[in-house]
Amino acid sequence: MNEPLQSLEQLLDRIGELSRSHERVSVAMVVESIGSRSFGPLLMLIGITLFSPLSGVPGMSLFMASFVLLVAVQMLIGKRHFWLPHYILDRSIERGKLQKVLDWLRKPAQGIDCVLKPRLSFLVHNGGSFGIAGLCVVIGLCMPFMELVPFSSSAAGLALLALGLALVVHDGLLVLLALVVFGSTLTFVVMNIL
């Protein structure tokens, strides 16, 4: 069994190990490497995907929205292990493309990991984790509309990344950051649509 992840760099390293040993890396392979009890790392993975250049792939935002909703609803109902359908688990990416994304994310991940520490832990434990799951549901429901405004799904990805990291490192300040980022993005999207 893999050790629990404690940082963004560890998540990137684990995915990097997969890309070095396989021609294509599927979601199922990543989920297996991070463990089926790891809601935080899974949210981090979704956030990284949306925040990276992969968010420019047509339909990626809608695909990731369904992924977010599946994970968040399972968190809300208190499941200890998450379940994902095969249409998500079978999705894969070529090694070269994945490695470029991982290289692009490496330096920001190092900077982010330097400032994270456990604080405001009431925002991530017990009732706080249900609040995080509820916020993820709202983000997932709003993401299809974010496709209408360029780069707004990347901001949603940043919020999801912050929420996943908050669960992993028990940093409640990241929950507040995610609220600010998502609230600002949603306001921007609504103003541009109306």
Total domains, the chain: 1
Residue 1 placed within a domain: no
The average confidence (pLDDT) of the chain is 84
> What is the spatial distance between Cα 194 and Cα 179, in angstroms, rounded to a whole number?
22
| Residue 178 banded pLDDT, cuts 50, 70, 90 | very high
User: What pLDDT, in 10s, does the model give residues 100-126?
Assistant: 888 888 888 888 888 888 888 888 887
Strand pairing report for 24-26 and 92-94? antiparallel
> What is the spatial distance between Cα 18 and Cα 20, in angstroms, rounded to a whole number?
5
Residue 2 placed within a domain: no
Phi, psi of 149 (to 5 degrees): -120, 120
Look up the domain containing 185 and give its range: 8-193
> What is the spatial distance between Cα 7 and Cα 164, in angstroms, rounded to a whole number?
10
pTM score, whole prediction: 0.79
Residue 3 placed within a domain: no
